[in-house]
Structures are given as structure tokens and as C-alpha cells.
Amino acid sequence: MIDWDEPLLAPKERDLMFVGAGIGDRWNRPREAELFYQGYGPAAVDPVAVAYYRYERIVVDVVLFCQEILLPGAPAADRQRALVKLAGAFGPGSVAEIACRTGDRI
């Protein structure tokens, strides 16, 4: 499968950062990550690079959530949803916590 939404040339860690990261509420279960790496095959993965891409993604999401919260005229329900997602990015089991533990998970 190919994602042509925003193609770019990047190291494998940019794609692998999604596995087990909780981003988009996907790949959250250890079994999913285990199956992914089993199918991916043996590969040397740089955990620092994976952590970098996870943090980068979190920063981009924070910016997008804040834009939605502060957008003039945005419906209150959309602002509330964005605020909940923003707060959820930093609690226990959040994407930020997972990114901090990246070296332990790869």
C-alpha cells in the first residue's frame, strides 16, 4: 500500500514512528507492533530517529489543535474536540509519553 497524500524521501524511521506510537489512535496494542515488525522483516532501526519523528508529529498536531481552538468562528463543538485532543496528547499513556519511552519500545 502506498500513501500518496504527502510523499517524501525520508529514512524508514519516519514511517516506523507510527508503529506503537498511539498516533491517530492506531497501532496502540503491542501485538499490532509485533505483527508489523514481523512482516517488515529484520531492519536496523535508530530509536533516536524514531523518537525525533514522533516528537515532530506531536508538535505538528499541537499546532493544528491550537489553530482549530483559536480559529475565529469555529463551531464550539470543533473547538471542544480539539481541546480534548490537545490535552490528551500529554496525559498518561499519551503520544508524548510513548515518544519519551521510544528507546525502550524499539
* Domain edges within the chain: 12-105
88: nearest Cα among 51, 62, 56, 52: 62
Burial of 10 (0-12, 13-18, 19+ CB in 10 A): exposed
Mean pLDDT by 10 residues, the chain (106 residues): 70 74 62 76 82 89 94 93 92 84 65
pLDDT at res. 9: 79
pLDDT at res. 68: 94
Cα distance between residue 100 and residue 106, in whole Å: 12
CB 20 within 8 A of CB 27: yes
Q: Which SS3 state, helix, strand or coil, does residue 106 take?
A: coil
Give tens-digit pLDDT for 60-82.
999 999 999 998 999 999 999 99
The model carries a pTM of 0.73
pLDDT at res. 3: 63
